[in-house]
Amino acid sequence: MGRRILVVEDDLLNRMFYSAVLESGGYAVETVADGDLAIEAVRKFSPDLIVMDIQLPNVSGLDLIEILQADPELKAIPILAVTAFVGKGEERRIRQAGASGFLAKPVSIKPFLAAIEALLAG
């Protein structure tokens, strides 16, 4: 398997979609359903990239991005934020929190993979 990607997404169908697309692209994928599990998963799985839903139970994706950015060991991991709530203000807040990329739901395969490849390329 190739590069490691952690998917943080509470919706089961979205988790399955992201996993299937990424695994078919040769990526090793780990998934978690909420923000509480994400930090532990990041430390155990050591992902090369994180795909992060913004609307998560317990800890929001926005808060989680800020937590990851505040940790010197984790802040270098690129984060692709995905959300159904799209507006210029929302995108600006997500990028200010530290997300490396942003996609609006529903996510299509080609733009999703293109964003993943661009973020992994640096």
Kindly report, residue by residue over 105-115, the tens digit of the pLDDT: 999 999 999 99
Token pair, residue 85, equals 């709530």
Q: What is the per-residue pLDDT across 22-69, written as a single tens digit (0 to 9) for each?
A: 999 999 999 999 988 999 999 999 999 999 999 998 899 999 999 999
- Looking at residue 112, its pLDDT comes to 97
Cβ atoms of 21 and 112 within 8 Å: the answer is yes
- Looking at residue 58, its pLDDT comes to 86
pLDDT for residue 84 is more than 80: yes
Token pair, residue 96, equals 């200010």
Q: Which residue(s) pair with 50 in the sheet?
A: 6, 79
- Looking at residue 114, its pLDDT comes to 97
Task: Give the chain's mean pLDDT.
Answer: 94
SS3 67: helix
- The number of folded domains in the chain is 1
More confident site: 95 or 7: 7
Using pLDDT thresholds of 50, 70 and 90, give the confidence band for residue 90.
confident
Which domain, by its residues, includes 18? 4-121
> Would you tell me the crossing angle of helices 35-45 and 61-70 to the nearest 10 degrees?
40
> Would you tell me the crossing angle of helices 109-121 and 12-24 to the nearest 10 degrees?
60
CATH code where residue 55 lies: 3.40.50.2300
pLDDT for residue 1 is more than 80: no
- Looking at residue 87, its pLDDT comes to 75
